[in-house]
Structure 1
Amino acid sequence: MALPDLTSHHVNYLIWRYLQESGLGEAAVMLQRAWNEDPQSLPFAPYIKAHALVSLVQKGLHYHELEHSIDKEGNAKAITSADYFFGPLEAQKTVGEKSTDQAVSPPATINGTELKSRGIIVPVRHETAKSPSPAEEVDGDGDVSMGIRADETQDQEPEAPEAPEATHPTPTTGPSVGVQISPAKAADLSPDTAILHVANDHVTRTLWRPWDPTVVVAAGDSFCSIWKLSSSSAPVEIKLVENEDDSLVSAVSWDPTGQKLAIATYNDLSGTVSIYNVDGYALDLLPEMPMILTGLHWTPSGSHLVIVASNSKTTELVLYDPYSEFVPPQAIDGLIYDLSWSGNNQAYVSGDGSVYQCDVDSGMIRVSREFQSDSPNTIWTYIRCANTGNSSVAVAASSETASLWIPTHDMRLDDTHHGDITAIDLYASPQSWSPLQKGQKIILTSFSTDSTVKIWNIDLDEKHFDCIHCLSLGSSIPALAGGLSPDGYALAASSKNKLFIWNTERGGNAMATWTMSGPEEVKTEEGPDRAVNGQNGSADLPDRSLSWDTDGKKLAIGFGQQMAIVNMQR
């Protein structure tokens, strides 16, 4: 039977898999982009076993050794140092020992042991590297390590048993250590940044229109405007709220289609919701409610809008449907601080000491389950959700205690930062991200006033938070706002006068920055600031807002009375 031709696709795929298995995720992505966007779609891909490239090279080395162990007549002959493919044995040992520490082989056994691939997102573990024993180097086909010959293993002393893995989170003191070499100098985004003076009040919210990188909303306590951007003409502002009647803006939200913009205002402890189209024309005005409206949340389908209305003692979740009659709201004792959807019909809200699961059905919203934390007085400031295919994952964060809590999976981690948490973001990678991983990767980012941003890999099966990167903004530079790009490739953090952008996988040094300069830096500090409890007690820190556009190619940053539009397409 004739052997099939070996093509560049076969070789590239084996190298790509090897890079994945070795934890060199960024190098694998670079090869993938230059060669094939979806290597797993190749017809032979399902038949390639783990460590195929290493196994194939080992077989070739055995054949090379066998070829040099017989003469032309087929008689056995002694092998000299010059006959070995990699030279003398001593040179092979040196290479083998070094390569073990540098993760040439992934940290997994081959016979019957589950492969612990690190995939695209590579955890950085602060553990002492353990050299595999000869038994661990033998695969199912009888191939042995390139670094140790079989006839040398008998005289070696048995290795000490491996220490059990620590259950405490990975230490995260100090800056992140990337898997690949980080850029020596971050790219300067200033040439690709436009500055807009948007109001005489602080910008507290920036919000891109979904699927439209030319329309962005800027809002503050006393104003809200739609800005239409153009590469060939000056930006056009459409003013929606100008504080002429002393109404204050409390929430802003685009529907998922970008056709409706909901704006909540309040005056004399009464709240109103107005809905506009992209051109600023009013589409609907909801009845006034005798409460402060603190949140507007469209369902992922855009068919409903949940309004969070609060007073000093009670919060109501009001479901708005333009085609249905008024339905009774869902009342919850205490305050609600955040809401996140896990699907069209399910959301999670965070409050004082509890997280609530809410279901939307038959035009109504109701609490179906309450998760109570161990500390009833803890304020769960933020909540984010993701779907893993089999279940929903809800992650809550307490700003003041710097605690992370996953009530849906009974996981909690306290003292994650030395200062207040100022933002969190969650990303569930698709199962096709890495051919080696089982299920999805849950990536969580937390931003803090302690001058760090942390990237966590959440293992739901083992109930473990693994801090894979601790990113530093610099001494006494708090992260005031931040978020992941929609594809999870990058994350951005805004400080008082600087923007940092990192590669999520690599971590390390920032790959791009933008710094305010000149008169803009002075204007930033004008107007009221909000109080944030920092690492050393209470400190006055300015509001910052940051949002990615849908394609992850532009950022809108609110600072002072201005908004920066950062274009990263170049």
Structure 2
Amino acid sequence: MALSSNVVNYLVWRYLQEAGFGNAALQLSRCWLRDPDSLPFAKNISPHTLIRILQDGLEFDKLRAEASNTVAQYNFGTDHGRPYSARNGDLLTLDKGIPAHELAAEAANGVVQEPPPKKGVKRKKQPKTNGVPAEPRLERSEPEVNGDPMELDQHGTTQPTNSVNSVRAESEPAPSEAESPSVTDIPISTLRIGADALIQTDDIADLTAHTTFIPAPKDFQKVVEHSSWGPEEAPLLLAAGKSILQLHNVAKATTQGDEARVITMDLPIPVNNFDITALCWQSEGEITVSAREQCVNEVGEKMTMDKLIKVVGDTSHAISSTAGLVTTLRWNPGMELLLSISTDGEKGSIKIWKHDSDSIPAWADFTATQIYDAYWISDAAFVVCGTELFKIYEVDGESLTTQRTLDTPITWETIKYDTSSGIIAALGMREQQYYLGILHPNDSINLQVHEYPDRYPNDLDFRVQSANNTLANGTSLPSTLLATCSLSGHARIWDANEPFACVRRLSTTDDSQAFKTAFSPDGTLLAAAGPDAVTIWDVEKREVPIACWRAKQCPASKWNPSVDGEFNLGWDHDSSRISIALGNQIAIIPIPR
């Protein structure tokens, strides 16, 4: 597509509005076109298009440099100076320091004052029409070139420009002095008074200073491998792993910069020298864990025992010692069923427990290959995935039946389910190639598969749908959003209803590796995190992050990103905090709302 002057000017005009520079946008429209929104292509321009074009250009330059093994042409460094948003504040003042909302009110009354004249510009007295001064015309002391010496015309060719009106389209006649628009002729929209100031690309909150670190256990043999926030009735963080099972009550900080108070409680379980391999919340006061205990028998032989244990408050009891090495626990609140997935050599084991007093599962089944993940998709059905395995089961009365088996040569490692749309998504790999899979209810017998475009994808999550998932201008993103992340330093957002349409490709803070990704429980924010950084986006407002957290800005004694261990990410129930965990390190990061 050939760029024209009108297209370029319109994109700049829209950016100036969206960034809060109302006076600059007003001046541009006065020098160029009375009503830019009347241009025939204006209805096709989505919010923040200029920013997206520039970002795409930078990404293309980066990819071109990588492909040709050369240096990127565009590099603005890490110091971009003082942010405009910090200078202008919430009201985004204009040239004379008048808050934009006051200027808008004055414009409605026809008393808007002109900004002070610039050097090199002479002003003539203008006749009044019905008591209102006509639009002042600008005369320059000497001819000047407007912008670049050559301007793009409607056909993509160049032509010289000699005046401030030369950027007007050929089809747009220059207004006469009598027709020249006054300031009051051009309405000032909410964008011009700063309502959409959040588009500022450098307005990224730094969350590092407000982090609360949970004290690490003094026993170095204790290592956190799992963490999980409790339900709304119990906003506690459960941490479990090698010889550790704790609940942390983290108060919300009352003063910025102060760490919140943390109360920690060890949960008693009837095992010693254990390793928690899986866990799940059942209610605000009930938790089920799988513990592998290292013990020595009466003749001195070392052996391991796997137990399912239910914890209720400050008491606990073993459910079963026959569940095997459990890697996944899923609770079904509707039917009050506990699903456990375990491995036995190269085979997978599925067990469903109906009562926590039963030592033997109510239903069981086995697969020929390993199972890596499972998810309840209804009160009676669940899906499992693994090595060349994608299978849906149903609990039908007193029996466990196979609803359908999908043939696949891929090893699926992670699976998620969206309750609103009924879509199942999974990440997997085969022969060093990674894949994203979608099983749509409209085509429930065909697993749609797509080669993942980034290196080393490792997590995915669906967004909870809500009435708030709408852009400021009334439009909205696709109804079913699926987020994925990878170690390449990118997160992607997909339209799960249109496999495989990538809605956005987002860059993480400092291009850091993302091990985990998750939407906030209210569906408004997306987090992608790894040991080095956490990135937060408001996907409805902009593609640039709204906040970030960097490990390098934390004391090494409290967070060391090079520690070996399982990395965990989780949201509090009210979307106000996230937790990250690595080794014995747990950080609670408040999120600005």
**TM (normalized to structure 1)?**
0.61
Cα distance between partner residues in 2 of 1:276 and 1:330: 26
Q: Which residue of 2 aligns with 1:240?
A: 267
Q: Establish whether residue 442 from structure 1 lines up as the match of residue 442 from structure 2.
A: no
User: Aligned ranges for residues 158-177 of structure 1 at < 5 Å?
Assistant: none
The CA deviation at 1:450 is 0.8
1:92, distance to aligned residue in structure 2 (A): 6.1
Task: Indicate yes or no: 2:414 matched with 1:382.
Answer: yes
What is the match of residue 370 of structure 2?
335
Q: Which residue pairs with 2:236 in the alignment? A: 215
The DSSP-based 3-state class of the residue aligned with 1:245 is: coil
Structure-2 residue corresponding to 1:225: 246
CA contact (8 A) 1:179 1:506 kept: no
Of 405, 427, 439, the match for 2:437? 405
AA partner of residue 536 (structure 2): I
Contact 1:300 1:343 in 2 (8 A): no
Aligned length: 399
- For structure 2, the residue ranges without an aligned partner over 5 or more in a row are 1-14, 19-28, 48-54, 58-153, 155-170, 173-195, 254-259, 294-302
Deviation, structure 1 residue 476: 5.4
Q: Partners of 1:179 and 1:362 in 2: how far apart?
A: 57
Q: Deviations over 1:324-353 (max 9, x none)?
A: 854241222211111122222221111112
Which amino acid in 2 is paired with 1:422? N
| Alpha-carbon distance between aligned partners in 1 of 2:269 and 2:354, rounded to the nearest angstrom | 27
Residue identity in the other structure for 1:396? A
CA distance in 1 between partners of 2:270 and 2:197 (Å)? 51
8 Å CA contact retained: 1:214, 1:230: no
Q: 2:461, 2:519 within 8 Å by CA — same for their partners in 1?
A: yes
Task: Indicate whether 1:415 and 2:438 are aligned.
Answer: no
Return closer, same or farther for 1:219/1:182 CA change in 2, 3 Å cut-off.
Answer: farther
Provide the C-alpha distance between the structure 1 equivalents of 2:455 and 2:557, rounded to a whole number of angstroms. 25
Conserved? CA contact 1:523–1:560, under 8 Å: no
Residue of structure 2 in register with 1:56 after alignment: none
The correspondence of residues 246-395 of structure 1 with structure 2, limited to 5 A, is 246-255=273-282, 257-267=283-293, 268=303, 270-277=305-312, 279-282=313-316, 284-289=317-322, 291-301=324-334, 303-322=336-355, 326=360, 327-362=362-397, 364-373=399-408, 376=409, 378-388=410-420, 392-395=422-425
CA distance in 2, matches of 1:518, 1:102: 42
Structure 1 portions without partners, runs of 5+? 1-23, 28-85, 105-123, 132-147, 150-177, 530-541
- What is the deviation of 1:281? 1.9
Query: Alpha-carbon deviation of 1:243?
Result: 11
Q: 1:439: how far off?
A: 13
Output the amino acid matched with 2:489. S
Shift of 1:297: 0.5
Which moves more between the two structures, 509-518 or 549-558? 509-518
1:466 maps to what in 2? Answer: 501
Residue 202 of structure 2 corresponds to 184
The residue identity in structure 2 corresponding to 1:281 is T
Q: Secondary structure at the match of 1:344?
A: coil
Q: Are the equivalent residues in 1 in contact too, given 2:490–2:511 (CA < 8 A)? A: no
Q: Which residue of 2 aligns with 1:396?
A: 426
Q: Deviations over 1:277-331 (max 9, x none)?
A: 2x3321x311202621111100143711111121113222111122785424122
Change (3 A) 1:253 1:181: same
Cα drift, residue 363 of structure 1 = 5.5
Equivalent in the alignment of 2:544:
509
Cα separation, 2, equivalents of 1:182 and 1:467: 24
Q: Distance in 2 between matches of 1:520 and 1:354?
A: 42
RMSD over aligned Cα, in angstroms? 3.9
Question: Structure 1: which amino acid aligns with 2:522?
Answer: D
Q: Aligned letter for 2:332?
A: T
Check conservation: 1:330, 1:367, Cα contact below 8 A.
Answer: no
Deviating beyond 6 angstroms after TM superposition, the runs of 4 or more aligned structure 1 residues are 86-90, 241-244, 434-440
SS of 2:451's partner is coil
- Please report how far the alpha carbon of residue 502 of structure 1 lies from its aligned counterpart in structure 2 after TM superposition: 0.7
The structure with the larger Rg is: 2
C-alpha displacement at 1:430, in angstroms?
Answer: 5.1
Change (3 A) 1:524 1:560: farther
- 1:522-545 C-alpha deviation (Å, 9 max, x unpaired): 752575x3xxxxxxxxxxxx5321
Between the aligned partners of 2:43 and 2:286, the Cα distance in structure 1 is 56
